[in-house]
Structures are given as C-alpha cells and as structure tokens.
Structure 1
Amino acid sequence: MRDIKRGQDIHQIGVHANHHVRHLAVSPDGRHLSMTADRFLDASQGCALEIWDLRQRKEIRQLDGGGCGYGTFSRDSRRLLTTTGVEIDLATGDVRENVLGPGPNTDLAFSPDGRFTAVLKTSGWVELWDGAARHRAALIPSGLVPGAARFGKSLGAMAFSDDGSLLAVAVRQRRPTLLHRCPVGAR
C-alpha cells in the first residue's frame, strides 16, 4: 500500500509464492483491502478472498473455496459484496450468503450514490438491485442473452457514470466494446 499524498509506502502485504493475485479492491474510506488470489501447488488449491484491516495491518477474514469470486466494497465502506453472492458486514463480521439470487455473476458495481448494485450475470442479463442488495429492482437484457446478436460472447465489465444515471457494460472480444448504456433511475 502506498500513500500517494505523502509519496511513501505505508504497508506491505505478503503474498505466497504459489498464489496468483487476480483482484484487489480498496474500500472508499481506505480502511480495508480485499484481495482474491488463486492458490497453486498446495493442499488447499482453489482460491481465497482475504480482507485486510489496513489500520490494524492484519487480515480480518478469509473466504476459501473454488468459487470465492472477488469483492467490491459498498460506497459507504460498510460492506463487501462478492461475485459469488456473499456479503460481509465489515463492522460486525456477519456474513450473508446467496445475496444476489441464483446463477453465477461476472461483475459487480455499486452506483456512486449507493442506491443501486449492478450485477452482470453469466447469462448476459444485468440485474439492478437496491443498494442493500436485498431486492432486485430491474432486469436488463443485453446483446448477450439467448437469441441476441452477441449471444455466446464473453462478458466484460461494468461501470456507473459519476452521477449514477448511466451504466456502461462491455463485451470481451479482441478489444473491449461498449455494449450497452442504460438509465438506471430517475433523479
């Protein structure tokens, strides 16, 4: 970890030689780090998602398993939501499972105002959930759903505009392509 304002390293987190880090996320308040790593050449092959408290400089939780996914922090920094549908309350340590309904998820994004959680499903659908990820607010088809022009292509990533009024979704091909922009709610 590096403090950009001061121009100095503030903390180093060791990664085992047989682990491959595939995703990092820092909470908006800068207090927590989520790290997903694939583990190779040991008895516990698969992946692990670690959550670190950067102020205390220690790991506070680890999720193990072949399908641990990666984590994205809520805008208020209170929760970590994973692509496998696990939600962790960072203050209490409480864990909710199967938060985002059935089926695997490819990507997650929280709207800047925290009103929505966008979930990119492997089926090609984009689901919009309320910010607490308790109720699905909308189901948006993409060009990747069965019968659509890009059916069968790999899914990409998502991002909300700064004002939260647009959600961009990309399809992975040789180069990322803008697939879809959709309004996500009246202001």
Structure 2
Amino acid sequence: MKGWFLSIWYFLDPIYYAFTRLTYVKDESKKNLIFRVRVTRYKGREVVLSDGTIIRKNDTLLKIHLHNVKLLKELYQVQCEVKRGRHIFQSVLTALPALAAYLENHPQKEDIKAVIGITTLHRGCRRLGFETHDIKSRCYQFFKKVTFTLIYILSATNISKESMQKHQPKYLFMSTKALSKRYRVN
C-alpha cells in the first residue's frame, strides 16, 4: 500500500513543485540533490542564533525543503531505521556545499540572513551546523505536525503512537555566515 501512495506522490510532486515557487539546488555536475529552496519572509517570533545573527519578523530567509518523495523512494527497501537515518544525514551533508554555493551566487545574497527549514528529523542537526528552535504558534505547529505525520506514516517501518508523539516539528536555522564558513567549497 505504501508503494502505491509513493507512486501517486511521485506523480503529483511535479505539480506541487510548479505551484510552490521552489528551485532545485544542484551541484557542479548539475546533479539534482535533495534540497529545493525558495526565498521567503520570516513570520515567526524573534530568534537569536548562536553566532549573534538575529532573525526578526519579515527578515529575508532561504527556506529549504527536503525532496521527501525522492528520499522515500531511495529508502523504500531499507528496513533498518538507523540505516535510514544515516542515509538522510549523509544526503543532507552531501547537499550542503551545493546549498552554500547556491546562496553565494544568489542575486539576493546580501538580504538573506539565514536558511530555515522545518522538520521532525532534528536529531543530528547540530552536527550539520543547524540550530533547532521550537515553533511557538500552536496553529502552525499543529498544521506542520499533520503534514509530517503523513510523511512519517509513509516512511516508517514501525509506526507507534509513542514514536509519532516524540517527533515534534521544529524550526532549523543556520545563518548564511555559518553556512558559508562551514560549507563553502572555494
């Protein structure tokens, strides 16, 4: 059944992509990695990052989206949760230098303060250079929890109420300075 839903999602994903103003981040070989991004205005509460960057309402950020259907397709046959986690971690780690290069060449690079993402997969984020912050808006948190629950059901090998409850969506931030310092290829 999961395979059937993944096939439908894979078919519908280009339609979703067309309506969301997302852009693929590619590396030098033009290989499509797992990030899709768009410039956005931050609408949450003020956040101070560890390097001193202050994110305020209406600041310009680069929102990153994992290409979930691509990841799920790659992980479809992998049953071990630890191997799945390692694969996702390695995929993100491999994609971050391309994200740094993308941002370095972006026409709005001077205005973009940080990259932002929302995920329930926040274990290991610090090792990648991201900081996690709670989503303060209960309505937005509930909306994100519902959407991530659907992704979780399609991706998990063992679904339990306890595991679903412990995966709370959180903001991920990394300042553009930190991203450039850590992942710049030049």
TM-score, structure 1 normalization: 0.28
* Bigger proportion of residues as helix: 2
Whichever structure has more strand as a proportion of its residues is 1
TM superposition score normalised by structure 2: 0.28
Larger relative contact order (CA 8 Å, sep ≥ 6)? 2
Larger radius of gyration: 1
